[in-house]
Amino acid sequence: MVNDQMLFDGAACALAVTTEDGTLLRVNQCFSDWLGMTAAELHGRRFQDLLTMGGRIFHQTHLAPLMQVQGRVTEVKLDLRHRDGHTVTVLLNAIKRDHASGVRHELALFGTTDRDKYERELLNARKLAEALLLEKTAAQTALQQAQAELNQAYIKAQRRALFAEQMVAIVSHDLKNPLTAIKMASDFLVRGARTAKETQLIGHIGQSSERAQRMIADLLDFTQARVGVGIAVTPTALDLHEVTRCAVDELRVAFPRATLVHHTVGAADTCLDGDRLQQVIGNLVANSVAYGDLQQPITITSQLDHHGASLSVHNHGPVIDDALMSVLFEPMTRGTDQDTDVRSVGLGLFIVREIAKAHGGDVTASSQVGSGTTFTVCFQTNATPPTFDRFQG
Please, what CATH class does the domain formed by 4-111 belong to? alpha beta
Digit-coded pLDDT (tens) for 158-178? 777 665 666 665 555 556 567
Intervals of CATH 3.30.565.10 along the chain: 236-392
Which pLDDT does position 198 carry in this prediction?
Answer: 76
Q: Report, at the CATH architecture level, how domain 236-392 is classified.
A: 2-Layer Sandwich (3.30)
The helix-helix angle for 274-291 and 240-254 (nearest 10°) equals 40
**How far is it, in rounded angstroms, from Cα 340 to Cα 286?**
11
Q: Indicate whether 289 pLDDT > 70.
A: yes
**How far is it, in rounded angstroms, from Cα 300 to Cα 135?**
65
Please, what CATH class does the domain formed by 117-226 belong to? mainly alpha
Read off the pLDDT band of 383 (50, 70, 90). very low
Q: Is 368 helix (H, G, I), strand (E, B) or coil?
A: strand
HSE toward the beta carbon, residue 49, CA cutoff 13 A: 11
Contact 265, 308 (CB under 8 A): no
Contact 10, 27 (CB under 8 A): no
Mean pLDDT of 102-129: 82
Intervals of CATH 3.30.450.20 along the chain: 4-111
pTM more than 0.75: no
Between residues 141 and 122, the one the model is more confident about: 141
The helix-helix angle for 113-191 and 196-226 (nearest 10°) equals 140
Digit-coded pLDDT (tens) for 20-66? 999 999 999 999 999 999 999 999 999 999 999 998 999 999 999 99
Q: Indicate whether 391 pLDDT > 50.
A: no
Intervals of CATH 1.10.287.130 along the chain: 117-226
Average pLDDT of every residue of the chain: 83
Q: Indicate whether 197 pLDDT > 60.
A: yes
Which pLDDT does position 1 carry in this prediction?
Answer: 44
Is beta strand 260-266 parallel, antiparallel or unpaired with respect to 298-305? Answer: parallel
Q: Indicate whether 370 pLDDT > 80.
A: yes
Amino acid at 254: A
Amino acid at 314: H
